[in-house]
Amino acid sequence: MAHLKIDTGSPTLRMTTSIHVISPVDTGIPTSSTLYLLHGAGDNSSTWQRLTTVEMYAARYGCTVIMPEVNRSYYTDMEYGLDYFSYITEELPDLCGRLLHLNSDPQNTYVAGLSMGGYGALKCALTYPERYAKVVSFSGVTDIRQRLADPAMPEGMVREMQAVFGTELAVKPGQDLYALSGQLVQAGCTLPPVLCCCGSEDPFVGMNREFAGYMENSPFDFRYVEGPGTHDWHFWEEHLHTAFDFLFEDKTEEFSV
C-alpha cells in the first residue's frame, strides 16, 4: 500500500491545502475504484488513516481512498469563508483524477464520511447523485436545522456555525438533506444506494433515526444500521467493515481470493 500526502495550492480555496491518499498500487489487486472519505469537525485529512484500519480495507478491495481537508466548514460554500463544497465536488475530483490517474466512472466512485463528514457525504450524493455509486454516513449530522437549533451549543461553536451559515443560521435548500431528497423525489431522479450507521448512545442517534424513517418511506435504496456505541472511533472502526461490505457487496466474489 502507498500512503501519499499531497500539499497543493487550491484555486477554489485560494490557499494551500492537504490531501491524504491511500492507494493499493503494490498489492497486485487492480485499482478500480475510488472512495472520497470525509473527516469530522474535530479532525483533519490525516485522521481516518491514523485512527482506523481503512488501509486494510482499501488493500482488500483495490480501492484508492481520497481524504481531503475542509477544516470546520461543514462541507459548505461558507457564508463568511471559503467555498469548500465547490472544492470537494469540483476541484478535488478533477485534481485527483489527473494526478493519480483514477477511474472516474461514477459506477466505481463512492463517498463516505463521519459526523460533519457524514453530512458532507450525504450532501454530495443528494446534490450530484449521478456522480456516485454509493454513499455512507457514519454518525452523520442528518438534520442540519436541528443541529443549528441545539440550545446547548457552545458560544464558540455558534460563531463557527454563523461563519458557515450566516448570522441568522438560516439553512438554504441546498444545505438541507431533507429538502435535497424531496427535490430528487419531485424530479423523479434516482439516488445511489445509501447506508447510515449510528451508535445507540450517540448524541445524533435521534436525528439519524428520524432521517432513516423519512428515507425508508422514499423511493430510494436506503439502509440504516444501529448498534451499541457512541460518537467515537471505536464505533466508526467497527462499522468500517459494515461500510466496505455495503460498498463492494456486488463485487464480493471478485475479491474473495
pLDDT in tens, 216-253: 999 999 999 999 999 999 999 999 999 999 999 987 55
What is the secondary structure of 128-177 as a DSSP string? -GGG-SEEEEES----HHHHHT-TT--HHHHHHHHHHHTTTTPPPGGG-H
- Length in residues, the chain: 257
Query: Which residue in this structure is represented by grid cell 482499501?
Result: 58
pLDDT in tens, 86-126: 999 999 999 999 999 888 899 999 999 999 999 999 999 99
pLDDT average, residue stretch 142-162: 96
Question: What is the assigned CATH class of domain 2-255?
Answer: alpha beta
Percent composition of the chain: helix, strand, coil (DSSP 3-state, to 5):
45, 20, 35
> What is the band of 190 on the pLDDT scale with cuts at 50, 70, 90?
very high
Instruction: Give the chain's mean pLDDT.
Output: 95
Q: Give the global pTM.
A: 0.96
Give the angle subtended at the CA of 118 by the CAs of 114 and 122, to the nearest 5°.
160
Task: Give the residue extent of every domain in the chain.
Answer: 2-255
3-state secondary structure string, 180-230? Answer: HHHHHHHHCCCCCCEEEEEECCCCCHHHHHHHHHHHHCCCCCEEEEEECCC
Distance CA 33, CA 131 (A): 13
